[in-house]
Amino acid sequence: MNTDLDDPRLTAVGLLAEAHTGLMNRLATQFEQHRLSSVEFEVLTRLARSPGDRLRMTDLAGQTTLSTSGVTRVVDRMERDGLVRREACPSDRRSSYAVITEAGQDRLAQVLPGHLELVQRWYVGLLPEGRLDDLLDSLRTIRDAVNPCATAGSAETVTQA
């Protein structure tokens, strides 16, 4: 068996996984303080950044780490909490939209300042000056290859993430 455990490709994947886990752990406490899970925060953010503050449920699944059934369960819970609502899709009776409500917008507005502070402290603020654009370009290239559905329903794929 010919294996190269020092292969930089292994290092790249390992570092990405470790960075993601560490960052999510740093953000988790702040989400809990606002009675949100990281997935619920992601759903609110995706909806608020989408045209009309809404996404088809299938597009929301493509933009998150959830399956279609997982999105349904999360949206059900968030709908009970008044953070989102469902709307029927006029062009396809099989589809529905998740729409952020005013209460969801308010919750997001409460969480966002602290979230951005943490992101600055533990992520983008650690990068050398001018490297954020390079990082965003690299992440979009990888995302578009491995998850081409991630921009479905977005107005502008350049600003969506």
More confident residue, 160 or 19: 19
What tokens does 101 get? Answer: 């409500």
C-alpha to C-alpha distance for 144 and 17, rounded to whole angstroms: 18
Domain annotation covers residue 140: yes
Domain annotation covers residue 122: yes
140-155 mean pLDDT? 82
Domain annotation covers residue 31: yes
Domain annotation covers residue 5: no
Q: Are strands 84-88 and 54-56 parallel, antiparallel or unpaired?
A: unpaired
User: Is it the case that residue 142 has pLDDT exceeding 90?
Assistant: yes
More confident residue, 148 or 23: 23
124-144 mean pLDDT? 93
Q: What is the pLDDT of residue 89?
A: 85
User: Is it the case that residue 99 has pLDDT exceeding 90?
Assistant: yes
Q: Is 7 left (phi over 0), alpha (psi -120 to 50) or beta?
A: beta
The CATH number of whichever domain residue 35 belongs to comes to: 1.10.10.10
Domain annotation covers residue 40: yes
Band (pLDDT 50/70/90 cuts) for residue 155 is low
Q: What is the domain count for the chain?
A: 1
C-alpha to C-alpha distance for 5 and 108, rounded to whole angstroms: 43
Domain annotation covers residue 129: yes
Return the bridge partners of 50, or none. Answer: none
Domain annotation covers residue 68: yes
pTM of the full structure: 0.85
C-alpha to C-alpha distance for 58 and 111, rounded to whole angstroms: 26
Q: What is the pLDDT of residue 149?
A: 80
The residue range of the domain holding 62 is: 26-144
Rounded percentage of the chain residues whose pLDDT exceeds 90? 75
Domain annotation covers residue 9: no
Q: What is the pLDDT of residue 157?
A: 40
Residue-wise pLDDT tens digits, 33-85: 999 999 999 999 999 999 999 999 999 998 988 888 999 999 999 999 999 99
